[in-house]
Structure 1
Amino acid sequence: MGESAGKILLLDDDELVLRSLRRLLSASGYFVTVYQSARAFLASDDLDTADCIILDLSLPDSDGFRVQEALAAAGGSHSIVFLTGRGDIPASVRAMKAGAVDFLTKPVEADALLAAVDVGRQLSRSRRKMEEKRASVLKRLDSLTARETQVMHLVVAGLLNKQIAADLGTVEKTIKVHRGRMMAKLGVRTVADLVRLVAVAEPAGEALGPSPTTIRQGHDI
């Protein structure tokens, strides 16, 4: 595959299935860790770095849906491929609606499983890249003063310096200073670049600092 294929977590209570799938995935370049109980799996330190999870629907101490729900409740966005010997349409629909990559039945064809795992791997890596980018953006946003953050909101909203000055009760020259400092800290040169940068942080609902209406009175910061 050129680059490291990645880490796969495999949860199934059938030793024969575990052995067979581990052999298949290892031969394809994946690093595979196997689990036979949901409790051991959910307590694993490998969850945060897994590229894909292959999850049996029927487990002795739980079921695949509960494991999927537990991962989601913990704030995870893992790539999950369900594998079951008794799948049906309602079960597959439920799994996919909850974000599963695929829902496969045993005995699974090697090509189908490898294709699903590869999709899961790519999704996981794309998410990690976005998370890293977003963390970088949030760090830069946190470096802004309250007034610089206000100016940023208003610039993103499309207001001109003169309009921002009137809105915040100050003079245009002061706004130009705040705007210049804000753009420099964020590492952007144009309003379009600023809008794109802010959009990276906003989808997850992070507070980006005071809104334009938070500070209307008082001295510039």
Structure 2
Amino acid sequence: MSEFQTIDVRDPSDELVHIIDDDEQLRAALVDFFETVGINSDAFKDTADFNQRADANRTGCLLLDVRLPGLSGIEFQRKLCAAGSDVPIVFMTGHGDVSTSVSAMKGGAVDFLLKPFRMDDLLVAVQTAIDKGRMQRELASRRKHVAECAARLTPRERQVMKLVTDGLMNKQVAFELGISEIMVKLHRGSAMRKMQARSLADLVKKSDLLQ
């Protein structure tokens, strides 16, 4: 069984677009729009409101205004990054400038929309962000599974796996570690089983996920 069979893919119904904007009419309009296209959403007047009420387990992406009461959108993005959050963000603003948009994109934003924006452009940006979040969660799940498998390896099996996935042949690994080639084959086979690797190429991919 490979790690791809153990991924806990979130049901799309659990994904929410969290809208953070201080314009009440716009928040309502966006919630209505997302409902018409079959996307779940929730709206918040500022980042404090989001922190108090948002369900973090259902975050598909953030649709975040740049200018907000209290913490600005850009400041909130930096705070999330500092906390280790990789939730995808689509920024929107009626007061865009080059430096702000560059800062947002360098911070990992998916898109930066100027108000008034076309709903088609908004939909593309949000769907891209949701898809990005989905891929991030799947990758995190794969890494977790691989780490759990790697935790079962003995120190010697780790050494052998490292050298094998670095491209060394069995006899080269044996020379490097000062053991027989037969022992290298035994440790390699054991590492393959514990890592649930179907081939050397699969083992290399899983080893890369541990980096």
Please state which band the TM-score falls in when normalised by the shorter chain.
0.7 to 0.9
Q: 2:65 aligns with which of 52, 56, 77?
A: 56
Give 1:29 deviation, angstroms. 1.2
**Counterparts of 2:154 and 2:53, CA distance in 1:** 40
**Counterparts of 2:24 and 2:161, CA distance in 1:** 57
User: Identical aligned pairs, as a percentage?
Assistant: 39
Which runs of 5 or more structure 1 residues have no equivalent in the other structure? 203-221
Which runs of 5 or more structure 2 residues have no equivalent in the other structure? 1-11
Q: After the TM superposition, which of the residue ranges 164-173 and 81-90 deviates more from structure 2?
A: 164-173
**Counterparts of 2:14 and 2:32, CA distance in 1:** 14
Residue 168 of structure 2 corresponds to residue 159 of structure 1: yes
Give 1:145 deviation, angstroms. 0.8
Q: 2:102 aligns with which of 93, 99, 116?
A: 93
Give 1:173 deviation, angstroms. 2.0
Name the residue aligned to 1:182: 191
**Counterparts of 1:120 and 1:83, CA distance in 2:** 14
Q: 2:158 aligns with which of 143, 149, 153?
A: 149
Contact 1:85/1:105, CA 8 A, preserved across alignment: yes
Name the residue aligned to 1:109: 118
Name the residue aligned to 2:31: 22
* Higher relative contact order (Cα pairs below 8 Å, separated by 6+ residues): 2
Q: 1:14 to 1:129 in 2, by over 3 A?
A: same
Name the residue aligned to 1:81: 90
Name the residue aligned to 1:69: 78
After superposition, the CA RMSD in angstroms is: 1.7
Q: After the TM superposition, which of the residue ranges 153-162 and 187-196 deviates more from structure 2?
A: 187-196
State the TM-score, normalized to the length of structure 1.
0.84
Instruction: State how many pairs are aligned.
Output: 200
Give 1:47 deviation, angstroms. 3.2
Q: 1:45 to 1:137 in 2, by over 3 A?
A: farther
State the TM-score, normalized to the length of structure 2.
0.88
Q: 2:206 aligns with which of 176, 197, 202?
A: 197
Name the residue aligned to 1:119: 128
Q: 1:128 aligns with which of 123, 137, 145?
A: 137
Contact 1:151/1:178, CA 8 A, preserved across alignment: yes
